[in-house]
Amino acid sequence: MSKRCKLQKEYYKEFGNYKGSGKYTDHYVNWLESKVLAINYTHCCETLKDKEEMTFTKWLDKWNWKQIGNSYVFKRGESYTDAESLMTSYKKEYNL
């Protein structure tokens, strides 16, 4: 017996006829959808890890920003920016 037939038989035993006017009743369709969702639901008992915050220095390395000498200017490829702008971007990414 197919899974569909088993579900229809289960519904019929619990609620009666699952057809109305030649079509499936709304109650049957909703019941069937809830069964399918329950079958496809994967329960996870572990909590999600928070986004791991990295240091500003590691963040600069991640995005390939290199400090020019001892100045507050950083370079990536042909782009230049200051430390304050980079710190703002870093804080925005980690909601600091």
* Per-residue confidence (pLDDT) for residue 64, from 0 to 100: 92
Which pLDDT score, from 0 to 100, does residue 11 have?
80
Q: What is the pLDDT of residue 40?
A: 66
Is residue 42 within 8 A of residue 52, CB to CB? The reply is no
Which pLDDT score is estimated for 10? Answer: 82
Q: Is the pLDDT confidence value at 87 over 70?
A: yes
- Distance from C-alpha of 76 to C-alpha of 79, rounded to nearest angstrom: 5
Domain ranges of the chain: 3-40, 56-93
Q: Which of 1-5, 21-25, 85-89 has the highest mean pLDDT?
A: 85-89
Phi, psi of 58 (to 5 degrees): -65, -35
pTM here is 0.46
Q: How does pLDDT run across 24-83, given as a tens digit for each residue?
A: 788 878 887 887 766 666 666 666 666 667 888 898 998 999 999 888 899 998 889 999
